[in-house]
Amino acid sequence: MSCAQLVELVTDFLDGTLDPDTSDRFEEHLRICDGCDTYIEQFRRTIDTLGSLPEAGLPEDARDALLNAFRDWPR
């Protein structure tokens, strides 16, 4: 797995939704790539620090703008 592939799969990995083979390849890459390991740790810290934002805390027009901006985001 390349670093670019790992970045594309990071959310699925952290959500635990990767298939077992892909998850194994993801974890193997983390064992050999210090940069990606650091990236994942930063991602985890951000999630831990921010927790979850309540939906009501985001104005509806901002929510719609974000959803529209990322709707066609390439996977």
The answer to whether residue 64 sits within a structural domain is yes
The answer to whether residue 75 sits within a structural domain is no
What is the domain count for the chain?
A: 1
CA angle 69, 71, 75 (to 5 degrees): 110
Which pLDDT score is estimated for 75? 63
The answer to whether residue 34 sits within a structural domain is yes
The answer to whether residue 39 sits within a structural domain is yes
Instruction: Write the pLDDT tens digit of every residue in 4-52.
Output: 999 999 999 998 999 999 999 999 999 999 999 999 999 898 888 877 6
Report residue 22 as tokens.
């892909």
What counts of helices (H) and strands (E) characterise the chain?
A: 4, 0
User: Residue 22: which domain range?
Assistant: 3-70
Least Cα distance to 13 among 49, 37, 35 occurs for 37
Instruction: Write the pLDDT tens digit of every residue in 46-61.
Output: 888 877 656 667 788 9
The answer to whether residue 12 sits within a structural domain is yes
SS3 content of the chain, % helix, strand, coil (to 5): 75, 0, 25
| pLDDT level of residue 73 (50, 70, 90 thresholds) | confident
